Structure 1
Amino acid sequence: MKNPSEKFLEKIGLKQPTAAAAEPVEKENDRRSFLKKASLGGIALGSFMFSSIEDTLAQSTSKVNRSSSPSDLKITDMRFAVVMNGHMRCPVIRIDTNQGISGLGEVRDGASHKYALFLKSRILGMNPCSVEQIFKRIKQFGFHGRQGGGVCAVEMALWDLAGKAYNVPAYQLLGGKYRDKVRLYADTPEGDNEADFVAKVNKRITEEGFTFMKMDFGIELLKGIPGTTSNSNFWDIGRQWTNEPNTYGGTEHPFTQVQITDKGLDLLAQRISIVREKIGYEIPLASDHYGHFDHNNAIRLGRAVEKYRLAWLEDLIPWRFTEQWRQITEAIETPTLTGEDIYLKEEFIKLIDAHAVDLVHPDLATSGGLLETKKIGDYAEEKGVAMAMHFAGTPVSFMASVHCAAATQNFVALEHHSVDVDYWTSLVKTKKPMIEKGFANVLDSPGLGIELNDEVMKKHLDPENSSYFAPTPEWDKDRSWDRLWS
């Protein structure tokens, strides 16, 4: 009986079968060619002749890249750096392991790095490849809006780590990809005058290659114009982005009781008309940031702009008013969309089941990370609802969003909010460009496929927090009794 070594040598052509007849000259030449190439490649003939089959296989595969031993990985540290993305503060975290590989994640734009650092003591010593187990352990510490940013940052970093450990891109760990490129949508730029506006729009389309645009048209534009809004003698409608108590910006939409007049609707429609005239109807045009008014005025606004065939009306009212969203959606023809501030799939499911919106719009840095966002998309797909994705951060959460979008079938487009930040793409290093002609490349490098460009990152740190991945031992043992059941 042949031993395993003999069978192996016979299989790869280094030993003739014992009962075989003499082989043709061509096969003998092939064998000599193999032996020559093998020796040149570092596989010594002696190792085949005198070693066990296990040693032979080990030597013959010695050049194979083994990034890690995934089952033995342990989380050893979490550190952070806060980078300025234009005017927006964006915390980037790094999770380190006992095997020298690290994963990158990002807390939602504008949020505090402490949302993530708070979780460090809960995950130290765990295997980062157990992504779902860790996610279930920490998800109780997230919430809607920016408060979900810490959990999502950790989840992103875990997928980056797992991809590096198994030497595959993150999308493959989510089940594979539906597309090689991810369609992006960008804001229409503002200009100092009409000629400047037209030039900037043309650049978006012809030079930058975007095939999907979004614009803002809100009642801020009507501030100071008599006869355009009602109840604006009490509320300052020009302060949508404030958050102080009892201000217009800090009051949810239904509770301002601001109304838009026919004159106001005509002026807002004129703004859309100008943009439509410049970009045409072939390019989808979405819309956002209308101001704070109730669902009745949202319906009036939606009907007033229907002829412009907008891709969607986004966040007309807060996402949590499900029944009011359903009334808006049923009353107008333009698609409705919300979701960038929703944490976890459960609230998306309520909107989807109620047929309250036409598209869902998660931001992966709030919604729960890559896997949770894919679950949201998959559920929406089963119910006939499409998914666009919100994004306004650094290339870290951008590439996390790209991998998720690639792996989700009902995906429509991903927002790119930093087109005009000139250093944005240079914050990271990649083997191929992240973006080409209005589409994101789905990178095939392990994990998220990016490496921080330390030199550029350090030039754009938050001036109020300029440390760069410094040790964080103060978060190692900050614990409490976290179990939610007795």
Structure 2
Amino acid sequence: MNQDRRIFLKTAGLGSLAVVGSTRPTAGPVLSETISAIKNAEPMKITKIEAVRFRPDLKLDGHGVVWMWVRLHTNNGIMGVGETYPFTEGQIGMLKDLEERSWMGKMLGRDPRDIEGTWRDVFAQIAFHGWGGSDMRILTAINIAQWDILGKALGVPVYRLLGGKAQQKLRVYNTYTSYWTINGMQMEADTEKIVRWLLDRGIKAIKIYPYEKVAERTGGTYISPADLENALDWIKRIRDTAGNEMDIALDLSSQWNLPCALRIARSLEPYKIMWLEDVLLQDNMQSYATLARETSIPICISERLATRYQFREMLEAKAVDIVMYDLTWCGGISEAKKISDMADTYYIPTAPHTCGGPILWFSTIHTATALTNFFIMESCFHFYNFQYPYFIKNVPVPQNGFVTAPEGPGLGIEFRSEPFERGDAIVEKIAES
């Protein structure tokens, strides 16, 4: 024990940690905050790194598990868990490469609470070779695990570390596809039933994909007047069923060229669309700026972008009305908060993408709770009702159209042991000191 720490303990009335819980008078009050401060001043380091993959033939509600987890263990027994998706083997390979071959990205021996320094070093490492793909996604998973550790070490939920509650609860929309359904209902046959089901549960926004089939047929290079009219069918039926009570977002999956995008947008303007999402590929912000300028429908982009650097270009080009990112792709909790804060300086709201795994769901809820420019966040009945509960005991489920952040330390996730015991979740040790 050095001299400064002895002085601190003495003045705090803690000449020995053995006085904790003692009823004897001391030189000063024994405060839990003081004890916590001492505990968290102790060195902490990462001692083991693990990857968790899932059995390839595991099916939940008819679908496989596409995400993987990173587990960081520390010398004081705290474990943090992060997540990314969808290319598990490439991501695990990148995790191994960082530890075995990099000169700036090694994790063993680091203090996991040094979140900003770790992000800087790992990003510098992957940027040396041209960043993107699995390297960015594994950096993201590491970052989420670090925030989980920090919250657990301090005994507070992650949203508190991000500035506390800017939002008491978070409004959600439901993403609806032909494969992520509610009780097997399909938009073609059951639009009205789907809308009423959501409204009955207080969910007043839906995201749909009415242009996919024509994009597959034409390659996104042409859309006829008949195609434009046919694509309006679901939208008209939603409006007939719910009036303006149901917001409608449209995801175009980056399948279109700019002339088609403009034609689609103009055909939709009478229907009060909440946003058009990912109409074009994400690599030309000037084209997006043209689209945003030429339509009254808000443009939402994009979970396909990563880091504040790419989002800066988008914002400076005036190419976006609503910022969307995927927290398990964009660089993690750290980067998501910076992206949203940067967007806020342009008075642009944030609408996070969440159709991945359960840790994405939890970490997005924590992050969004701390955002002053939060607009709405994605949810999907298929995931929170069927897939997430298989692994997690305390999955946040929308109540009257909103979700709230858990109050447990870190991400507050209560994992089930059964998937590990059954061999559905497979743990691989990457490195250990």
TM-score (norm 1): 0.73
Q: Give per-residue Cα distances to partners, 1:420-476, cap 9 Å, x unaligned.
A: 55242342234x845433322112211111121121466683xxxx52x23234xx6
Match of 1:230 in 2: none
- Once the two structures are TM-superposed, the CA of residue 185 in structure 1 deviates from its matched residue by 1.5
Match of 2:48 in 1: 77
Q: Whole-Å Cα distance in 2 between the matches of residues 262 and 460 of structure 1?
A: 53
Q: Whole-Å Cα distance in 1 between the matches of residues 261 and 281 of structure 2?
A: 12
Match of 1:201 in 2: 195
Judging changes above 3 Å, is the alpha-carbon distance between structure 1 residues 159 and 438 closer, same or farther for their aligned structure 2 residues? same
Q: Whole-Å Cα distance in 2 between the matches of residues 318 and 404 of structure 1?
A: 26
Counterpart check, 1:283 vs 2:276: no
Counterpart check, 1:450 vs 2:427: no
Trace 1:382-393 onto structure 2 (pairs within 5 A). Answer: 382-393=345-356
Match of 1:228 in 2: none
Judging changes above 3 Å, is the alpha-carbon distance between structure 1 residues 77 and 135 closer, same or farther for their aligned structure 2 residues? same
Q: Whole-Å Cα distance in 2 between the matches of residues 107 and 279 of structure 1?
A: 36
| Equivalent pair of 1:149/1:365 in contact (CA under 8 Å) | yes
In structure 2, the residue corresponding to 1:313 is in which secondary structure? Answer: strand
With CA pairs under 8 Å and 6+ residues apart, which has the higher RCO, 1 or 2? Answer: 2
- Once the two structures are TM-superposed, the CA of residue 205 in structure 1 deviates from its matched residue by 2.4
Match of 1:91 in 2: 68
- Once the two structures are TM-superposed, the CA of residue 214 in structure 1 deviates from its matched residue by 0.8
Match of 1:406 in 2: 369
Counterpart check, 1:139 vs 2:123: yes
In structure 2, the residue corresponding to 1:138 is in which secondary structure? Answer: helix
Amino acid at match of 1:350: E
Q: Whole-Å Cα distance in 1 between the matches of residues 187 and 369 of structure 2?
A: 38
Q: Whole-Å Cα distance in 1 between the matches of residues 41 and 193 of structure 2?
A: 52
Q: Give ranges in structure 2 of 5+ residues lacking alignment.
A: 1-10, 14-19, 101-105, 179-184
Q: Give per-residue Cα distances to partners, 1:349-407, cap 9 Å, x unaligned.
A: 11111111111111111111112111111111111211111111222111111111111
| Equivalent pair of 2:175/2:208 in contact (CA under 8 Å) | yes
Judging changes above 3 Å, is the alpha-carbon distance between structure 1 residues 8 and 330 closer, same or farther for their aligned structure 2 residues? closer
Amino acid at match of 1:377: S
| Equivalent pair of 2:177/2:209 in contact (CA under 8 Å) | no
- Counterpart selection for 1:186 from 174, 191, 194: 174
Q: Which stretch of structure 1 is more off in the superposition, 362-371 or 75-84?
A: 75-84
- Once the two structures are TM-superposed, the CA of residue 108 in structure 1 deviates from its matched residue by 2.7
Match of 1:127 in 2: 111
Judging changes above 3 Å, is the alpha-carbon distance between structure 1 residues 192 and 135 closer, same or farther for their aligned structure 2 residues? closer
The structure with the largest alpha-carbon Rg is: 1
Judging changes above 3 Å, is the alpha-carbon distance between structure 1 residues 130 and 65 closer, same or farther for their aligned structure 2 residues? closer
Q: Whole-Å Cα distance in 2 between the matches of residues 339 and 150 of structure 1?
A: 19
In structure 2, the residue corresponding to 1:119 is in which secondary structure? Answer: helix
| Equivalent pair of 1:186/1:419 in contact (CA under 8 Å) | no
Judging changes above 3 Å, is the alpha-carbon distance between structure 1 residues 287 and 145 closer, same or farther for their aligned structure 2 residues? farther
Judging changes above 3 Å, is the alpha-carbon distance between structure 1 residues 145 and 312 closer, same or farther for their aligned structure 2 residues? farther
Match of 1:14 in 2: none
- Once the two structures are TM-superposed, the CA of residue 198 in structure 1 deviates from its matched residue by 3.0
- Once the two structures are TM-superposed, the CA of residue 70 in structure 1 deviates from its matched residue by 5.0
- Counterpart selection for 1:438 from 398, 401, 422: 401
Match of 2:97 in 1: 118
Q: Whole-Å Cα distance in 1 between the matches of residues 269 and 316 of structure 2?
A: 25
Q: Whole-Å Cα distance in 2 between the matches of residues 383 and 183 of structure 1?
A: 22
| Equivalent pair of 1:147/1:366 in contact (CA under 8 Å) | no
Percent of counterpart pairs with the same letter?
Answer: 25
Judging changes above 3 Å, is the alpha-carbon distance between structure 1 residues 395 and 454 closer, same or farther for their aligned structure 2 residues? same
Judging changes above 3 Å, is the alpha-carbon distance between structure 1 residues 53 and 360 closer, same or farther for their aligned structure 2 residues? same
- Once the two structures are TM-superposed, the CA of residue 202 in structure 1 deviates from its matched residue by 2.2
Q: How large is the RMSD of aligned CA atoms in angstroms?
A: 3.1
- Once the two structures are TM-superposed, the CA of residue 144 in structure 1 deviates from its matched residue by 4.0
- Once the two structures are TM-superposed, the CA of residue 340 in structure 1 deviates from its matched residue by 0.3
| Equivalent pair of 1:287/1:314 in contact (CA under 8 Å) | yes
Q: Which stretch of structure 1 is more off in the superposition, 308-317 or 451-460?
A: 451-460
Amino acid at match of 1:165: A
| Equivalent pair of 2:188/2:234 in contact (CA under 8 Å) | no
State how many pairs are aligned: 393
- Once the two structures are TM-superposed, the CA of residue 343 in structure 1 deviates from its matched residue by 1.3
Counterpart check, 1:472 vs 2:430: yes
In structure 1, the residue corresponding to 2:68 is in which secondary structure? Answer: strand
- Once the two structures are TM-superposed, the CA of residue 290 in structure 1 deviates from its matched residue by 5.5
Counterpart check, 1:151 vs 2:139: yes
Counterpart check, 1:163 vs 2:151: yes
| Equivalent pair of 1:211/1:283 in contact (CA under 8 Å) | yes
Amino acid at match of 2:198: R
Counterpart check, 1:357 vs 2:320: yes
- Once the two structures are TM-superposed, the CA of residue 118 in structure 1 deviates from its matched residue by 3.5
Q: Give ranges in structure 1 of 5+ residues lacking alignment.
A: 1-6, 10-40, 224-236, 239-247, 249-255, 478-486
Judging changes above 3 Å, is the alpha-carbon distance between structure 1 residues 152 and 67 closer, same or farther for their aligned structure 2 residues? farther
| Equivalent pair of 2:144/2:363 in contact (CA under 8 Å) | yes
Trace 1:298-313 onto structure 2 (pairs within 5 A). Answer: 298-313=261-276
Amino acid at match of 2:40: S
